Each structure stands twice: as C-alpha cells, then as structure tokens.
Amino acid sequence: MFNKFRWGIHPETHKTPTEGKVIESGPLPDKVILPVRQHLGVPCAPIVKKKDCVKKGQIIASSDAPVSSNVHATISGTVVDVSNKPHPGLGECLAITIESDGLDQWAEGIPVERDWKALDADELITIIKNAGIVGLGGATFPTHIKLLPPKGTVIDTLIINGAECEPFLTADHRMMLEYTGRLVTGILILKKILAVETAIIGIEDNKMDAVKKMTEALAGTNIKAVAIPTRYPHGAEKILIRTLTKREVPPGKLPLDVGVVVQNVGTAVAVCDAVQNGIPLLERIVTVSGSAIKEPKNLKLRIGTPFAEAIELCGGLIFEPEKILMGGPFMGIAQYTTEVPIIKGVNGILALSKEDLNSGIDTNCIRCGRCVSACPMGLNPSMLSTLADKGLFEEAKEEYHLLDCMECGTCSFVCPAKRKLVHYLRYAKVSAAKGGK
C-alpha cells in the first residue's frame, strides 16, 4: 500500500538499550536555562528581568513576529540571570535563567479543562500558538504556522510522523506506547483544524508493538496506522510523504504544495495537553543513550534542564566519550559542553565512543557512486562536495540542486573514502546564501 523507498540506508539501529524502557520523570531541577530562541523563525525578546518571580507556565519571552514561538517558565522561582548562555544548536544565545523555589507552582489559570470539540479552528490555533508548541521531531518550526496554510492552498492529508528512523532514539516509540490516548486526541484536534478526512500515522516496522497499540487505539476513527519499511531517513517529511501517499514534493517546494501537513508524534501529544488542559510546552521526552552512558533511559525532563543533569540521571558516563550529540548520530549536533540546556528540539542526548561513530581520515573521492545510490533526494553528493571545495556555490545550487539536500548524512555514512560530504554541503549552502562569500 506504500510507495517503495528506493534510496537511503539501513544502519544498525542501536535502539535495544532503551526501546523497552518506560519513560521516567526527572526530578524538579534546581535551575533551568531557557534560551529565547528554541524555534525556527524570529527570536523572542525577554519580558521578565533579573529578580522577577515567575511561575510555571508563565510566558517569559515572546515576539510579535508571525513566525516565532513563546518561551515559558518551566519551573516556579526567581529569574537570576538574563544573558548569553551556551546553546545546543547555535553555540550561544540570550537565555533566561530561573532558580527554583521548590514549590513548582502553576501560573494563574493553568491548568484548565476544555472540551476541544466545542472550539473552532481559529480558537484551537490560538491556543497552540500561545502554548509555544513547535515541531518536536527536531525541526522546531512553529506548529501554528503549519496549521495556517496560505489562502487558496488545499490540504487533504495529515501525516503523523512516528518513523523515528535515527539510530539510538526511542522517545517517540515510547510515547506511542505510553501516551496513546493523548496522541490520538492530538491527532483528532489537528484533523479538525485542517478539516481533512485522511490522516495517517507512519511507523517503521521495527516498532510493531507501537503499530499494534496505535491500530487498536484508532479503531472507530478514520485514522490509519501504517507500518513502513525500516530504512533511514524515513523520518524526513518529504520521504515519508512519498512513501505514504506516492506524492513527490517538487524541488524548492513544501509539503503543503502537495496537499499534506506533517506533524511529529510528540507535537500531537503537546497539542492535546495545550488544548485540553491549557498546559504550554514545558517538558519533553528525551532519549539519553550511547555506549558511554551507564544506564540509557527515556526521560521526561523540563525544558531548560542542563545536559549534565540528564546524563547524571542515567548514572553518568562510564568513560570519556568521543562526542556528545544533541539528537541522533546522523543529523545530531556535537556539543562542546554539557552545560547546554535541553530545548524544545532536543529529542536525544548521545554520548558516543569512537567505535560508535562512522569516522575516519577524509581522503580523495574514488568515484564509486555509492553516495549517489544512497541519496534519498536523488542528488550527486560527490559532485556537490567537489563544487563546494572549489567555491563554485552557484553552480552547485543551480545545476546540481544543492538546496534540495536535507543533510541526512547517508552520503557520508556510505562513503568508503570517509569524506565528510555533509560538511561540504552545509558549507556550500551557507556560502550560497551569502552570495558565495
């Protein structure tokens, strides 16, 4: 029933250490560090200052820009600092540090009880926007923007992304098993907003327990749970759309251009919590794993919790890792300190050995063509890397479709010459955006 996925790779999944472990709630942190930029779009501006007392769920940073997302206090306490702090994706960012008062008190009016069926689409979108919900698969695009397609755009299909194709990560898997009811409600809310009849949740077939659980929970609805082949990068939305609907998103276009909206499993759960109970995005599920972690776990943690605390909740490190990553091993970002905070887009913290990493000395291309065969977007990574190396950024962009690269890392993984192909392509993208400078 699905379109065959011809490209990509099937690496070792490394999910066994955590896929059977229930989600554990972390303790109330002593402090949280909350960057004003945890989303794609315009950064928020602080609306609190040092020495202010805040409560859990209170908006502490916001922006009037359409593409932005509110930041909320994730604990109650006192603002002790507003300054630049380490950021897991940007290196450094303005952040609000809150010291806990130990009371964990809710802001006034939270939580509430709402009947989402009595609300119209505009009311639901306003709630989601105010709650600061973004794409929790890692992209962090503000969710309310995805739910407001341009006038004249016809959306007929909602896809819920339960693929979780990156090795090591099992946060979405556990949510499908443990938060099933909230997930189903979130999907129904999203369906109502988009006014679509067709909704599909795509789950890789290495999670058949989740497929079974979701199929049972969706009985009586017109939402389908579909098992798709386990193959990286099936979690990329354009690939998932191709597999589930046989629609091809054209170069330079978005899913909405083919009538589809894609939302992550965690995003749908967050939508349920915000709409039904008025709870903004204050915490998320994070897989902490890798061979350097003593006891890998799936943790429910307040946003703003330092990486170091999350690692300690898993027994700490058993040896010095080669790298600590935010996210999965393919698209994750290496960290220079564990004092960075968990932000909305952090679905995993991995502490990896040299053996875990597919690394080596970068040598000359041997023209084997493996990167071309593996690329899920049908690109020529070898040629693109050569053009990047020579500074021919416009040629890479215009003739070899550089901007269609989604930086999934399949080309680097299969390269026998150990060329850092994704690094070349990222460099080329940035340089092309700057006009080749």
DSSP E strand boundaries for 278-363: 283-289, 297-302, 323-326, 333-334, 348-352
Q: What is the dihedral of CA 358, 364, 368, 369, to 10 degrees?
A: 80
Give the model confidence (pLDDT) of 337-346 as tens digits: 999 999 999 9
- How high is the pLDDT of residue 4? 53
For residue 262, the surrounding DSSP H or E stretch is strand 260-264
Q: Would you place residue 436 in the very low, low, confident or very high pLDDT band (cuts 50, 70, 90)?
A: low
Averaged pLDDT for residues 228-257: 92
Averaged pLDDT for residues 309-315: 98
Residues 6+ apart with CB under 8 A from 13: 167, 168, 206, 230
Q: Contact, 310 vs 301, CB < 8 A?
A: yes
- How high is the pLDDT of residue 437? 54
Q: Would you place residue 1 in the very low, low, confident or very high pLDDT band (cuts 50, 70, 90)?
A: very low
Give the model confidence (pLDDT) of 65-110 as tens digits: 999 999 999 999 999 999 999 999 999 999 999 999 999 999 999 9
| Nearest residue to 76 via CA among 47, 111, 95, 52 | 52
Averaged pLDDT for residues 369-390: 92
* Phi and psi torsions of 63, nearest 5°: -150, 150
Helices (H) and strands (E) counted in the chain, each on its own, are: 14, 17
Domains of the chain, each with CATH number or no CATH: 28-110+280-352 (3.10.20.600), 111-277 (3.40.50.11540), 370-433 (no CATH)
Coil, strand or helix: which one is 385? helix
Q: Count CB neighbours of 289 within 10 A.
A: 28
pLDDT tops 80 at residue 54? yes
Residue 200 to residues 2, 19, 80, 154, 170, Cα–Cα distance (Å): 12, 23, 45, 17, 20
Averaged pLDDT for residues 171-176: 98
pLDDT tops 50 at residue 318? yes
Give the model confidence (pLDDT) of 265-294 as tens digits: 999 999 999 999 999 999 999 999 999 999
Residues 6+ apart with CB under 8 A from 95: 33, 34, 35, 36, 81, 82, 83, 84, 85, 87, 341
Q: pTM for this structure?
A: 0.94
- Kindly list the strands in the beta sheet with 53-54, ordered across the sheet, starting from the edge strand earlier in the chain: 31-35, 91-100, 77-87, 53-54
- Kindly list the strands in the beta sheet with 297-302, ordered across the sheet, starting from the edge strand earlier in the chain: 24-25, 297-302, 283-289, 348-352, 323-326, 333-334
Q: Count CB neighbours of 354 within 10 A.
A: 11
Give the model confidence (pLDDT) of 334-373 as tens digits: 999 999 999 999 999 999 998 888 777 788 889 999 999 9
Q: Would you place residue 140 in the very low, low, confident or very high pLDDT band (cuts 50, 70, 90)?
A: very high
Burial class (CB in 10 A: 0-12, 13-18, 19+), 86: buried
Burial class (CB in 10 A: 0-12, 13-18, 19+), 386: middle
Q: Find the DSSP H helices in 224-306.
A: 237-245, 265-277
Q: CA-CA distance, 262 to 256, in Å (whole number)?
A: 9
Averaged pLDDT for residues 167-182: 98
Averaged pLDDT for residues 412-424: 90
Q: CA-CA distance, 245 to 257, in Å (whole number)?
A: 13
Residue matched to tokens 């200052």: 49
Q: CA-CA distance, 77 to 28, in Å (whole number)?
A: 12
- How high is the pLDDT of residue 7? 79
- How high is the pLDDT of residue 363? 87
**Between 409 and 5, whose confidence is greater?**
409
Q: What single letter denotes the amino acid at residue 246?
A: K
pLDDT tops 80 at residue 2? no
Find out whether the peptide bond into 229 is cis, omega within 30 degrees of 0. Answer: no
Averaged pLDDT for residues 399-426: 91
